Amino acid sequence: MKLWLRKSLIVVVSILTFGVVTPSHALWSNNQDLHKSPHRDESSNVNSTANVTVHADFVEESIKTSKEQFIAMMTSEAERQSILKFGPKITRVIEDEFRDIILPKIEQAIEMTVEQFPEASLERLAITEKPAGGISEKIFHIYETETNKDIIRFHVRRDKPPLEGYTFNFHYHTYHDQFQTHYALGDIYWDKNTPPKWQTV
């Protein structure tokens, strides 16, 4: 709209309505603001969507971090319980192999277990604190504290194949099949001589 025509229209509207109706600011500025406002709304919507996405990413990252921290804490405790189980005499012989071969697989099994639970439920998972001595297999179990039911059980068995030496077979069982299946973690060779009992000093 031409400038002189716009100004004339503003004056006519003001006179005819005795100033009750005032021309809009958009009329003064050649409707520029009308063109801009949809962009502002779109921008606002984009920002709003972006904020929701960023928030969702942050929450997801926080959950991921919390789970990672929980797995690290569980793995550290699993290592401690295992060393207690072995006792000093066995630990001196197998400690390096255990940390290099078996512990990373224990961590993977713990991670797989943790992934089955929402973050809010993780605080209800705990590790048993009394590994079995003697010749018993139990290293530790992860259980649900409210029900006191085991979720996953980590064991070590002494094997002696014919004409071979003794081997420590590390494995775990899960509640999915009532702890029937042996899931192998690995073997560590001991010696041809009978190993001492667990927790032997």
Mean pLDDT score, 117-125: 88
Domain containing 121: what range?
A: 59-191
Q: Which residue has the higher pLDDT, 18 or 86?
A: 86
Is residue 193 over pLDDT 70? yes
Q: Which residues pair with 88 in a beta bridge?
A: none
Q: What is the spatial distance between Cα 199 and Cα 29, in angstroms, rounded to a whole number? A: 88
For 83, 116, 151, the CA distances from 112, given in Å and listed in that order, are 23, 7, 11
Residue 112 in any domain: the answer is: yes
Mean pLDDT score, 175-183: 95
Residue 21 in any domain: the answer is: no
Residue 197 in any domain: the answer is: no
Residue 32 in any domain: the answer is: no
pLDDT digit string, tens, across residues 151-163: 999 999 999 988 8
Residue 77 in any domain: the answer is: yes
Within 3-145, strands assigned E span 125-127, 138-144
pLDDT band at 184 (very low <50, low <70, confident <90, very high): very high
Residue 108 in any domain: the answer is: yes
SS3 content of the chain, % helix, strand, coil (to 5): 55, 20, 25
pLDDT digit string, tens, across residues 81-100: 999 999 999 999 999 999 99
Domains held by the chain: number: 1
Closest CA to 139 of 128, 148, 149, 150: 128
pLDDT (0 to 100) of residue 119: 84
Residue 139 in any domain: the answer is: yes
Residue 85 in any domain: the answer is: yes
pLDDT (0 to 100) of residue 163: 85
